[in-house]
Structure 1
Amino acid sequence: MTIADDADLAARLVRDAGELAHRMRSAGLEAQTKTSISDVVTAADHAAERLVVDTLATERPDDGVLGEEGASRDGTSGRTWVIDPVDGTYNFVAGLDWWCSAIALTDGDDLVLGAIHHPATGRTFVGGPDLPSRVDGEALGRIVDRPLAESCVTTYLHPPYFSGEVGAAFGRMAARAATLRMLGSGSMDAMAVAEGRLHVVCQHSVPPWDELPGAAIIRGAGGVTRHVEAAGVDWYVAGAPTAVDEVCAALTTP
């Protein structure tokens, strides 16, 4: 089994999960609130995650799984598949197109690869630190380095955090960027960075299923990823190297 075999499997898993969720949305769904009005889940999330978990149980039975919607299995291989069946569920429920299905593969502490399928366009991204990133089999261009002042930052900050130390750190970062976008799907935001349409991802308290698929593909396209502690929370920053460094400096320097 090679990394190419794993990449092919990952691409198939996210395509199947994304297409299932898209069909279920077209048939009509009701959403349930998890932690807030913007944090929702549907039957499509659960069905897509189950599809991925069942396929992995057959094709990678020794690997572990960790899913956003509760799937969890310890493996014996040291490898774990991290699953986000529908990333951007609020957008998904609202009928917006900025959502996807995503998966990452880790081996111990090492990030091996990520795959992301965008049902609205039918495109599938795959890449990793040692796997040059591709979309539908075509190589992505390398991320072009640039300073934060010339960068569009894609981010999200929940309204309760607008004030206080977290809001102040966010404000320092935002003030140094060329512009901001809050689009509602961390993995799709990462794909916009990997393609050079946006330039930096920045968000705090990011769970692994929201971080790792996009992080792998950004790294496979020549970008960098970092974590930094600021205002009592952990910030995840990824994209063009110089801009990433300047975001981290802005977050940590009052």
Structure 2
Amino acid sequence: MTEAPEPDERLRTELLELALEAAERAGALLRDGRPADLGVAATKSSPIDVVTEMDIASEKLVTSFLGERRPDDGFLGEEGSDSAGTSGVRWVLDPLDGTVNYLYGLPGWAVSIAAEYHGEAVVGVVFAPLREETFHAVRGEGAFLRGHRLACRAAPPLDQALVGTGFNYVQQRRTRQAALAAQVLPLLRDIRRSGSAAIDLCDVAAGRLDGFYERGLHAWDFAAGDLIAREAGARTGGRPGAPPGNDLMVAGSPGVFDALQPLLDELGAWHD
């Protein structure tokens, strides 16, 4: 298998600066432009899997901003952006991760933007406006929050680990995930459910969670957060030996990951 080429320093710097600015612009739009009467514009996988007009506006802002500056790049976005591009760079973005939180006026939502180079994530930015936090990482250069380098927590025993998770919007899958959580919970310190996978992965990076797992995520949900977590020293994956994907996303401090991933696999967290 041929390794993907590495972007040079100039390109890495350019991609990071653009991702930071795009996320800041989109976050400001979402924070300052939220209508008082915000409602659901559409649904996706189920009646509770919602899209608001602000999800759509945020994705349009990000793709327009990046497309004007790098017209040959590709895009993959939650609200429909999907183009290959010719430059080797593809932007993978969730313009509003945590839409239900946003709809209800809760603070746990973020703009998530990753830049891939020949299929490998090289830059990740997650901006959570109401937490006033911007996380970022460049592959091989570490992860940062407010200029401070991040490091995941030293791994406790699994029964002392605080682990985040999320639940899908399809009823059958949610029911299965709830049953799985009931099996996992007694084996952990506790479980947290924030409503934003991007934020959960950044909280693993920042040492606020020892681990995280979820089934049913898409690339735009975890592309930036996955890189940020790994650059902070966490391990990430899907089923044992596989990368993160729709079947399963697992992240954690190395010792927690080593215990949590096989446990989830044994319990069948990767299927409904």
TM-score normalized with structure 2 length: 0.85
Answer yes or no: is 1:224 the counterpart of 2:243: no
Deviation at 1:130, TM superposition (A): 1.3
Answer yes or no: is 1:15 the counterpart of 2:24: yes
**SS of the residue 2:126 aligns to:** strand
Note the alpha carbon deviations across 1:101-149, whole angstroms, 9 max, x for none. 1111112332212101111032211014313111122222344233322
Answer yes or no: is 1:24 the counterpart of 2:33: yes
Give the partner amino acid of 1:31: V
The alignment yields a C-alpha RMSD, in angstroms, of 2.2
Deviation at 1:169, TM superposition (A): 4.9
Compared CA separation, residues 75 and 120, structure 1 to 2 (3 A): same
| Residue equivalent to 2:212 | 201
Compared CA separation, residues 128 and 228, structure 1 to 2 (3 A): farther
Note the alpha carbon deviations across 1:69-98, whole angstroms, 9 max, x for none. 001222112221001110000000001000
| Residue equivalent to 2:129 | 119
| Residue equivalent to 1:160 | 172
Contact 2:113–2:124, Cα closer than 8 Å, also in 1: yes
| Residue equivalent to 1:242 | 255
Answer yes or no: is 1:79 the counterpart of 2:92: no
Segments of 5+ residues of structure 2 without an aligned counterpart are 1-9, 241-245, 268-272
Give the partner amino acid of 2:85: G
Specify which of 52, 64, 77 is matched with residue 42 of structure 1.
52
Contact 1:144–1:240, Cα closer than 8 Å, also in 2: yes
| Residue equivalent to 1:252 | 265
Give the partner amino acid of 1:5: E
> Identity of aligned pairs, percent?
34
| Residue equivalent to 1:105 | 115
Judging by fraction of residues, say which structure has more strand.
Answer: 1
Q: Distance in 1 between matches of 2:50 and 2:261?
A: 30
Deviation at 1:62, TM superposition (A): 1.8
Compared CA separation, residues 27 and 201, structure 1 to 2 (3 A): same
| Residue equivalent to 2:106 | 96
| Residue equivalent to 2:243 | none
Aligned residue-pair number: 251
Give the partner amino acid of 2:94: D
TM-score normalized with structure 1 length: 0.90
Contact 2:12–2:138, Cα closer than 8 Å, also in 1: no
Contact 1:174–1:180, Cα closer than 8 Å, also in 2: yes
Contact 1:98–1:188, Cα closer than 8 Å, also in 2: yes
**SS of the residue 1:25 aligns to:** coil
Compared CA separation, residues 137 and 70, structure 1 to 2 (3 A): same
Q: Distance in 1 between matches of 2:184 and 2:13?
A: 38
Compared CA separation, residues 78 and 2, structure 1 to 2 (3 A): closer
Compared CA separation, residues 150 and 11, structure 1 to 2 (3 A): same
Contact 1:146–1:241, Cα closer than 8 Å, also in 2: no
Q: Distance in 2 between matches of 1:219 and 1:128?
A: 10
Q: Distance in 2 between matches of 1:150 and 1:193?
A: 15
| Residue equivalent to 2:66 | 56
Give the partner amino acid of 1:161: R
| Residue equivalent to 2:154 | 144
